[in-house]
């Protein structure tokens, strides 16, 4: 909810009810200029669509209907009237609404920012998409949740799916020059000793695992490359470190038969020893982490695929095997989260690409011929 700046009228969004079809009932933006108003619940499920459980009941005569309706199931949440000077002048007084997105619609909708426009008399004139793109080919990778305005007129958008906050600016020279600088650095980094995997931090640093001499214990390390291309060593004493990922400002690394955590001071902690694995870890390879901090580690196994699989490791250190060497994936290597409960898996043994369901362990072949 938010108060319209010039009139003081309270506006609020309404998610409505579910299970009434893909396009019914509509979402709502409501205005409450005074106390004691009735907005239709529970007689109306959204807009003027009556709820089936109350179809035989007489609704009050003084129901106030929404000032703007939205596509059903877009799930309008955070609302903010724009009062800044950064955006073009016609944005001032308009409402920006975060639409969290559907969960029970045949084809997903929402996952966007909506702009509701107002005229000089502070009445709604229409609505249009302000920002979209969090929904790609029916798959959501982000869910806008709330909107705030900074003193400079830029907007902050929270995303509770990715656990991030976006800043949206207009004509912001500082932001543009920063992006241009970061993209123009084409320096080649040399003298790395068998670099295996890399992960980029939000501040522009890149962390690289270096195996050193393959099969030699203790000569592996983690190298940091800053935005200017300068190289420093963060941690040493690893064996053959491979997959690396970053979560909560700490690095997680697969190191042959165990998994370690490295903090930003370079201190190393073993979080999953070889004996903690339900199978026999042989060739731990790639590392992927979901939004809850759960780790997924591939084990490419022996040359014949023996002991190959994919392990799940919780933040509490519990290790379980979600795929073993009896699955269709012979030697799992590269991992990438693909939604909440699926992984993309590259098969090092066959050159095939799979999608694996984490809960069920079922696999789906996607493509082949990668060598």
pTM (whole model) above 0.75? no
Residue 32 has what pLDDT?
Answer: 96
Determine contact, residues 235/222, Cβ cutoff 8 Å: yes
Residue 291 has what pLDDT?
Answer: 81
Residue 187 has what pLDDT?
Answer: 78
- CA end-to-end distance (rounded Å), the chain: 55
Tell me if 2-175 shares its fold with 187-367.
yes
44: Cβ contacts below 8 Å, ≥ 6 apart = 25, 50, 51, 59, 63, 65
The closest alpha carbon to 343, from 313, 317, 364, belongs to 364
194: Cβ contacts below 8 Å, ≥ 6 apart = 210, 211, 212, 213, 214
Residue 138 has what pLDDT?
Answer: 85
Please give the CATH topology (third level) of the domain spanning 187-367. Neuraminidase (2.120.10)
Residue 178 has what pLDDT?
Answer: 44
Segments in the chain forming alpha helices (H):
173-184
Domain residue ranges of the chain, discontinuous segments joined by + = 2-175, 187-367
Residue 15 has what pLDDT?
Answer: 86
Determine contact, residues 294/313, Cβ cutoff 8 Å: yes
Determine contact, residues 132/112, Cβ cutoff 8 Å: yes
CB contact burial 170-205 (16+ within 10 A = b; e otherwise): eeeeeeeeeeeeeeeeeeeeeebeeebbebeeeeeb
CA dihedral sign, ordered 40, 41, 44, 45: positive
Phi then psi dihedrals of residue 274, to 5 deg: -55, -40
Residues of the chain falling short of pLDDT 50: 176-184
State how far the Cα of 276 lies from the Cα of 295, in Å rounded to an integer: 14
State how far the Cα of 195 lies from the Cα of 231, in Å rounded to an integer: 13
CA 47 to chain centre: 31
Please give the CATH topology (third level) of the domain spanning 2-175. Neuraminidase (2.120.10)
The closest alpha carbon to 109, from 76, 70, 73, belongs to 73
Residue 185 has what pLDDT?
Answer: 55
């Amino acid at each position: 909810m938010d108060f319209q700046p010039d009139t003081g009228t309270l506006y609020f969004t309404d998610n409505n009810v579910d299970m009434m079809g893909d396009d019914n009932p509509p979402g709502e933006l409501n205005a409450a200029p005074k106390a004691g108003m009735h907005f239709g619940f529970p007689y109306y499920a959204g807009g003027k669509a009556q709820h089936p459980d109350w179809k035989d009941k007489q609704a009050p005569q003084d129901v106030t209907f929404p000032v703007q309706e939205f596509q059903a199931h877009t799930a309008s949440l955070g609302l903010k009237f724009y009062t800044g000077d950064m955006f073009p002048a016609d944005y001032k007084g308009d409402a920006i609404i975060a639409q969290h997105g559907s969960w029970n619609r045949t084809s997903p909708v929402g996952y966007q920012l909506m702009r509701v426009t107002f005229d000089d008399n502070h009445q709604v004139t229409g609505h249009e998409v302000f920002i979209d793109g969090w929904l790609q080919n029916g798959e959501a990778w982000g869910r806008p949740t709330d909107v705030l305005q900074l003193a400079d007129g830029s907007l902050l958008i929270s995303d509770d799916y990715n656990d991030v906050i976006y800043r949206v600016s207009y004509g912001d020279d500082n932001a543009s020059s920063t992006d241009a600088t970061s993209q123009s650095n084409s320096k080649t980094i040399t003298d790395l000793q068998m670099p295996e995997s890399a992960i980029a931090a939000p501040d522009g640093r890149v962390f690289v695992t270096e195996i050193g001499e393959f099969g030699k214990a203790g000569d592996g390390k983690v190298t940091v490359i800053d935005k200017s291309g300068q190289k420093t060593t963060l941690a040493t004493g690893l064996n053959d470190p491979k997959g690396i990922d970053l979560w909560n400002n700490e690095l997680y690394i697969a190191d042959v038969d165990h998994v370690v955590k490295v903090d930003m001071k370079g201190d190393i902690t073993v979080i999953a020893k070889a004996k903690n694995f339900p199978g026999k870890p042989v060739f731990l390879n790639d590392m992927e982490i979901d939004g809850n901090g759960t780790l997924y580690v591939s084990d490419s196994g022996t040359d014949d695929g023996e002991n190959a699989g994919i392990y799940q490791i919780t933040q509490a250190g519990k290790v379980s095997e979600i795929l073993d060497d009896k699955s269709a994936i012979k030697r799992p290597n590269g991992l990438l989260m693909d939604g909440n409960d699926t992984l993309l898996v590259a098969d090092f043994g066959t050159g095939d690409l799979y999608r694996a369901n984490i809960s069920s362990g079922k696999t789906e072949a996607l493509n082949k011929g990668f060598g």
